[in-house]
Amino acid sequence: MSSFTHTTTLLHAHVKTKHQNTNQSSSSSSSQQNPTTNRRKLVSTFLATSMAALAGAHAQPQALAQNWGTRSFLREHFFEPGLSPEDSVARIKQTAEGLHSMREMLENMSWRYVIFYIRLKQAYLDQDLKTAMATLPQGLRKDYVKVANELVDNMAELDRYVRSPKVYESYLYYERTLKSIDDLVAMLA
């Protein structure tokens, strides 16, 4: 028992002397460099780059995606501002392009990325479909609702079959989803 306490005492003494040596060497190196000048250089570099970025942002027209959502913890980690119907139509068209480009992920059977993409698009597509309906004339609204419901159902089935993963059914509902979103975009154009 005494050998155990003797060994631990030596170990603690070794650790204490090692910490004192490293603290002394770090304090001598920090005294050679002035920390306030390093901070000033860092702050001035940050300010210069942020000012340059702001100047560049005003020179270019603002992208539509900037008002499409802001990170927040109010509603499922995203605050979704009330978009205009035109912005909703633009985001639906962008979703259609993204779904068309997802074919390679399905062919490579990258199920995890497909699931992530589908769920991301489903998160805001419901609100966009409701908002975009305001751009349509009264006569097309019944057909629009029918196609929008098909799209939502097909995306839900696609998500279900990608999670399982059932390859044939995933491809089948992917094609159905593409057909429904293309019909929807044709109505909105």
Residues 28 and 114 occupy one common structural domain:
no
Give the predicted TM-score (pTM) of the model. 0.57
Residues 49 and 112 occupy one common structural domain:
no
Residue 28 domain boundaries:
2-59
Residues 84 and 160 occupy one common structural domain:
yes
Whichever domain contains 76, its CATH number is 1.20.120.290
Measured between alpha carbons, how far is 143 from 146 in angstroms, rounded to an integer? Answer: 5
Nearest Cα residue to 113 out of 71, 169, 68, 170: 170
Residues 29 and 90 occupy one common structural domain:
no
Question: Which residue type sits at 17?
Answer: T
Instruction: Supply 127's token pair.
Output: 């609100």
Residues 164 and 117 occupy one common structural domain:
yes
pLDDT in tens, the chain (189 residues): 555 555 444 445 455 555 555 555 555 554 455 666 666 766 666 666 666 655 555 444 444 444 555 444 445 555 556 778 888 899 899 999 999 998 888 888 888 888 888 988 888 888 888 888 888 889 888 999 999 999 999 999 999 999 888 889 889 999 999 999 999 999 988
Residues 76 and 166 occupy one common structural domain:
yes
| Alpha helix ranges (H) inside 33-166 | 35-59, 85-100, 103-107, 111-132, 141-163
Q: What's the number of domains the chain is made of? A: 2
